[in-house]
Amino acid sequence: MNYLVAVSNILFIITGIFVGGKLALLALRTHKLPETAFAVRMLCTSALGLPLMIAARIPGLVSDGVGVDFVVAGYFFLDASMVASIIFTWKVFRQGERLGIIVATTMFALVLVHAIVTISLSVGSTSVAEISVFKGQGQILTSLAMGAVFLWCTYEPARYYRTLLKRCALGLSSPVVASLTSAIALVLAFVPPHAYLRFIEGRTGVAVRA
Q: Sort residue 60 into left (φ over 0), alpha (ψ -120 to 50) or beta.
A: left
**pLDDT tens, 40-74?**
999 999 999 989 988 888 877 778 778 888 888 88
Cα–Cα distance for residue pair 48/84, rounded to 1 Å: 14
Domain ranges of the chain: 2-170, 174-210
For residues 9, 13, 16, 22, the Cα torsion angle rounded to the nearest 10 degrees is -160
- Top pLDDT among 42 and 158 is at 42
To the nearest whole number, what is the mean pLDDT of the chain?
78
pLDDT at 170 over 70: no
* pLDDT tier at 85, thresholds 50, 70, 90: very high
Tell whether the model's pLDDT for residue 116 goes beyond 90. no
Q: Is the pLDDT of residue 162 over 90?
A: no
Report d(CA 204, CA 100) in Å as an integer: 33
Is pLDDT larger for residue 181 or for residue 13?
A: 13
Q: Which amino acid, residue 65? A: G
- pLDDT, tens only, 93-104: 888 899 999 999
In this prediction, residue 138 carries a pLDDT of 63
Q: Is residue 208 pLDDT above 50, yes or no?
A: yes
126 vs 80, higher pLDDT? 80
Is 70 exceeded by the pLDDT of residue 81?
yes
* Confidence at residue 209, expressed as pLDDT on a 0 to 100 scale: 54
User: Does the pLDDT at position 133 exceed 70?
Assistant: no
Banded model confidence at residue 184, pLDDT cuts 50, 70, 90? very low
More confident of the two residues 130 and 160: 160
User: Does pLDDT of 180 surpass 80?
Assistant: no
Is the confidence at residue 1, as pLDDT, over 60?
no
Q: How far apart are CA 93 and CA 177, in angstroms?
A: 13
